[in-house]
Amino acid sequence: MTLPTHATTAPAHVVAKLSTLDRFLPAWIGLAMVAGLLLGRLVPGLGGVLSSVEVDGVSLPIALGLLVMMYPVLAKVRYDRLDTVTGDRRMLVSSLVLNWLVGPALMFTLAWLLLPNLPAYRTGLIVVGLARCIAMVIIWNDLACGDREAAAVLVALNSAFQVVAFAALGWFYLSVLPGWLGLQQTGLDVSPWQIATSVVVFLGVPLLLGYLSRRLGERRRGRDWYEQRFLPRVGPWALYGLLFTIVILFALQGKQITSRPLDVARIALPLLAYFAVMWGAGFVLGRVLGMSYARTTTLAFTAAGNNFELAIAVAIATFGATSGQALAGVVGPLIEVPVLVALVYVSLALRSHFPTPESEPA
């Protein structure tokens, strides 16, 4: 990807400098979503074949797409600058509060307010709210010229919390809190191993490869060669991986989505509100705390994104592949992808309202 990290020009000027692939990204994503839905709907048995290619509940096609998508971005991270991020306690604490206090509570509230008589969809949405993003947020952050080092740290931090907190929060929001409020209670069967596997596959592997690439590449050929020759070659593969992942994801669930359009619309409403509020809360909080544009953007996108693969896997394992809970998980990326792409452009439009300190990482 070729978005400059510090351009202070207007979004239209930034877009004009992009490659054809980057410039028409919303169109490519839209085509990928349509292609996936059509494949899932028109090719008999495709969803079953793709679903069968998995190891320990992890879809290998999706894992491949996410690995190709995340590796180039994580290879761009300057790991020798991570200490400047870990020392920023405001950002670390803000991210934890948004992801583990505000996010689950907001989704619980929206699910009960907007889907009071649809318990299966409501439960599925609450599960989505508990699965914090560990993959696609890296892409949205990079497209919006966020702080790559901060994104790597926040994603790793929230992934560690996810392993520890996901099951406990699921029990609290599906059983304990509804009981206190006199609402319907639901159980959730998920193992820490399943969550840890998701984190290792979707974050640990590409993070390790990105780190090793930079260390070995700079050691053997120097930083100039690594950043001016190697990164431009591997950079476009992030978007190739993103588009491939979207096609596979929607091909897997295309039949469910297209056969229940009214249900999809009902599920979409709380999701739209959730993504908008979470991103807005992160952006406003970063601005109030005096963070740079890059770190404010990173805070906003890491708060708004969700781990769709984990949410879908948990819903299927607990309630079944054809359940309403699973459908709610599937609709998550259907709404998240176009909404967060739109928010990339909103971020760039707001960039001129931030000072650009010379010390901000390149």
- Three-class HEC string of 290-328: CCCHHHHHHHHHHHHCECHHHHHHHHHHHHCCCCHHHHH
pLDDT in the model for residue 362 = 39
pLDDT in the model for residue 159 = 84
pLDDT in the model for residue 361 = 43
**Residue listed under structure tokens 């669930």:** 253
User: In the numeric block, which tokens belong to residue 83?
Assistant: 């200490």
- Tell me the pTM: 0.80
User: In the numeric block, which tokens belong to residue 351?
Assistant: 């960039």
User: In the numeric block, which tokens belong to residue 254?
Assistant: 């295309």
pLDDT in the model for residue 3 = 44
User: In the numeric block, which tokens belong to residue 321?
Assistant: 């592949």
Using alpha carbons, select from 160, 169, 263, 204 the residue that is nearest to residue 66. 204
DSSP state of 306: B
Q: Which CATH class is domain 19-351?
A: mainly alpha
Blockwise average pLDDT, block size 10, the chain, 362 residues? 41 53 76 88 77 70 83 87 82 94 96 94 92 81 91 87 84 92 82 74 84 93 92 88 84 77 92 96 95 95 86 76 80 86 93 68 41
pLDDT in the model for residue 23 = 67
